[in-house]
Amino acid sequence: MPDRPERRRLPTGEADAGKPRILITGFGRFPGAPSNPSGFFARKLARSRRVHDARLDVRVLPTSWDEAARFPSMLDRIDPDIVLMIGLAARRPQVCVELIGRNATGMFPDANRRRPAARRLAKGGADTYACAASPAPLLHALRQSGVPARVSRDAGRYVCNALAFSAYGWARRTGQHRLAVFVHIPLPHAGVLSAARLERGLEAVLAALLAEHRSSRLTGVAER
């Protein structure tokens, strides 16, 4: 049976109406990764005390091409101010902030053993979209948390890249101070890449995104 997305939306009230909405995504298993820590960290961020002044919507998505195709509709429906996507890159020794989403697919099968229907994600669409957030503060946040980090210009050709391409393009089209970034994490292990340290680093990324969002809104108000 195909995996289904796991949803977690924290309760909101009238007092939350003016707070930024954040969509955090992680993934479930896929061939070669029977356990995917990105979903674990997405759920952990939902309980972070550093984001008490925001509305959180957390989704642990099946690693499937069909789910990636539905992601733009999810963005339209949730209408987030900030999108933080987390994926697993088990062979990378550092956390990677993905600078580019490419309009391209690979032939690696998804969690349902299906392959993409076409070589391009969006027929007639742009070849690439750039990350819709400033990478430097995100790298600084990670490194200050003791997490080795770098920027990456290659998000792969898998479902991770499909989400990055969709979210980066969506943020650019809709504007209004929206931010979107995809972060690849390695497998946690003892030492500098322990689960606890990765969690702190991702919390710091989220705090940096919130700070950039607030700054952009204040700048926009001042320019009116």
Spatial separation of the C-alpha atoms in residues 72 and 33, rounded to whole Å: 25
Specify if 54 maps to a domain: yes
Specify if 130 maps to a domain: yes
Specify if 3 maps to a domain: no
CATH label of the domain that carries residue 124: 3.40.630.20
Q: What letters, b where the CB count within 10 A reaches 16 and e where it falls short, cover 100-127?
A: bbbbbbeeebbbbeeebeeeebbeeeee
Length, in residues, of the chain: 224
pLDDT in tens, 93-102: 999 999 999 9
Q: Can you read off the two tokens belonging to residue 163?
A: 């989400």
Task: Tell me the mean pLDDT in the region 42-49.
Answer: 91
Specify if 53 maps to a domain: yes
Q: Can you read off the two tokens belonging to residue 154?
A: 């290659």
Spatial separation of the C-alpha atoms in residues 201 and 179, rounded to whole Å: 18
For residue 222, pLDDT beyond 80: no
- Tell me the H-state helices in the chain: 37-45, 65-78, 135-144, 159-174, 195-223
Task: Tell me the mean pLDDT in the region 119-146.
Answer: 96
The residue range of the domain holding 160 is 19-223
Task: Tell me the mean pLDDT in the region 140-165.
Answer: 98
pLDDT in tens, 6-15: 665 555 554 5
Provide the annotated active-site residues. Answer: 160
pTM of the complete model? 0.90
pLDDT in tens, 155-208: 999 999 999 999 999 999 997 789 999 999 999 998 889 999 999 999 999 999
Specify if 127 maps to a domain: yes
Output the average pLDDT for the chain.
Answer: 90
Percent of the chain scoring above 70 in pLDDT: 89
Q: What are phi and psi of 184, to 5 degrees?
A: -90, 130
Residue ranges of E strands in 15-127: 21-27, 55-61, 82-88, 95-98, 100-102
For residue 16, pLDDT beyond 80: no
Number of structural domains in the chain: 1
Q: Can you read off the two tokens belonging to residue 67?
A: 């789910």
Confidence of residue 32 (pLDDT cuts 50, 70, 90): confident
Specify if 179 maps to a domain: yes
Specify if 166 maps to a domain: yes
Spatial separation of the C-alpha atoms in residues 46 and 8, rounded to whole Å: 8
